[in-house]
Amino acid sequence: MIDWEKNSEEILSRALLAGEEGKTLPEILALFPQNQEEIREIFEIIAELSAQKDGLNPAPEILENILSNLAAAKKNKNDSNIKGRLFFSLNIIKKELFMTQKLKIAVPVLAVLVLVVAGAYIYIGNQAKTISVTENEIFAALESELIQEAALAGESDADINVALADEQIINQFNQTYDDSQL
Amino acid sequence: MKEADSCRINDLILRAKNGEKAAFAEIYRDYFTPVYRYLYVRTGHKAAAEDLAQIVFLKVYLAISRFEFSAEKKLLPYFFTVARNTVIDYYRRKKIPAVDADRLWDLADPGQNGEEQIIKQEQKKEILAALRELNFEQQEAIINKYLNGLANNEIAKILGKTEAAVRQLQCRGLKKLRIILKKYD
């Protein structure tokens, strides 16, 4: 017996060819006595497929509908040719739209990525700005404190001067005032 | 295709090129049924087949003025080439809906003949469902051969393959169909 698994394509090809040449099924089976079962089953499938033809006929209304739309399509095509001289071709626009449809996943993902990156950039920028403002404020506060301290020091010197001036006046008074003269 | 058919189609094309609508209608009537059948089996949905048939016929209609008929370049393979590209485009663009086995192959009502008719319809559903389990090219080779009656040289032109390659696709497809149908049993 010829091994069906190994030689099935060759056997079947020869059997199909014999069928196309007009041989009947019994004649074909007689050519392949060792593989009759397999060939019979496959020819039954072919017969069943061929028998589906009649059951798969379209409704006549569909064709009528298509034919009635053809004139309109031709008119639209002519219109499109005229418009095409002035505007972008409708086909190009359609293709662009189709490409957008093809990128249905990529575009939103890219948009989200852009938003995330932009958000992160803005956030980091704000953080840096906050830090620099804080530093400036600290410097300003320190400077202000130094100025205040300098001012206080100035006031203190003035007090000392006033005190020294008082002391000088008292000394002068003491020198001019003589108890013995009383 | 018979020689008489070729002459008739040639004549119809010439008349159609001159704008004779009746000639267009005749061409479409001759080709509509096999094209629709092909689209129906490829998609498994009546509504999808109707929509795609409309697209195919519009494409052919708009291109017919540029069609050059010759012994090598026949109209039927041209129709099927357009139909094939339309199906490929359909599957590429559209998300394929989940197949509801009961709604798929919305075949005619079994009518009054009862049990025998129901069994026949079940067999029909089975074989068409099994057909859809084959790969794209195997389906093309088998549908065009056994459902539409195209010769292998015509199928070879549509698929862009040699006749030997087409026969190989048919053999592999038929073998696979046998295995699938055995599983169904």
This model of the complex carries an ipTM of: 0.75
Which long-range contacts does B113-116 make (Cβ < 8 Å, 24+ apart)? none
Q: Predicted confidence band at A149 (pLDDT cuts at 50, 70, 90)?
A: confident
Do the chains contact at A42 and B175, CB–CB below 8 Å?
yes
Residue where a domain terminates, one of B98, B129, B153: B98
Res. A102: pLDDT tops 90: no
Are B33 and B3 part of one and the same domain? Answer: yes
Nearest CB among B37, B127, B171 relative to A16 is that of B171
Is pLDDT above 60 for B104?
Answer: no
Tell which residue, B120, B15, B140, B128, has the closest CA to residue B65.
B15
Give me the residue from A38, A70, A101 closest to B24, CB to CB. Answer: A70
- Asked if B3 and B94 sit in the same domain, the reply is yes
Query: Which DSSP letter does residue A57 get?
Result: P
B141 and B169 Cβ atoms separated by less than 8 Å: yes
Contact yes or no for B4/B10 (Cβ under 8 A): no
User: Is residue B107 assigned to a domain?
Assistant: no
Residue-averaged pLDDT of chain A = 75
User: Do residues B94 and B3 both lie within one domain?
Assistant: yes
| B94 and B126 share one domain | no
Residue of higher predicted confidence among B153 and A61 = B153
CATH of the domain at B151: 1.10.10.10
Interchain CB distance below 8 Å, A38 and B29 = no
Does A65 reach chain B within 8 Å, measured CB to CB?
A: yes
* Residue B140 pLDDT > 80: yes
Domain limits for position B142: 114-185
Task: Count the neighbouring beta carbons within 10 Å of the beta carbon of residue B131.
Answer: 25
pLDDT surpasses 60 at B50: yes
Sequence-distant (6+) residues with CB within 8 A of B173 are: B134, B138, B139, B141, B142
Q: Which two tokens mark B142?
A: 């088998």
The answer to whether position B104 is within a domain reads: no
Core vs surface per residue B17-34: b (16+ CB within 10 A) or e: eeeeeebbbbbbebbbbb
Is residue B90 predicted with pLDDT exceeding 80?
yes
Q: What is the CA radius of gyration of chain B?
A: 18
Would an 8 Å CB–CB cutoff place A90 in contact with chain B? no
B16 and B113 Cβ atoms separated by less than 8 Å:
no
- Domains of chain A, by residue range, sit at 4-56, 74-104, 110-182
Distance of residue B7 Cα from the nearest chain A Cα, in angstroms: 23
Cβ proximity of A95 and B93 under 8 Å? no
Number of structural domains, chain B?
2
| Window B:87-126, CB contacts with A under 8 Å | 93, 107-108, 123-124
B156 and B81 within one domain: no
* Residue in A8, A52, A77 nearest the CB of B128: A52
- Which B residues 135-154 touch A at CB under 8 Å? 142, 146-149
Q: Is pLDDT of A93 > 60? A: no
Among A16, A63, A65, beta carbon nearest to B170: A16
Instruction: State the pLDDT at residue A114.
Output: 92
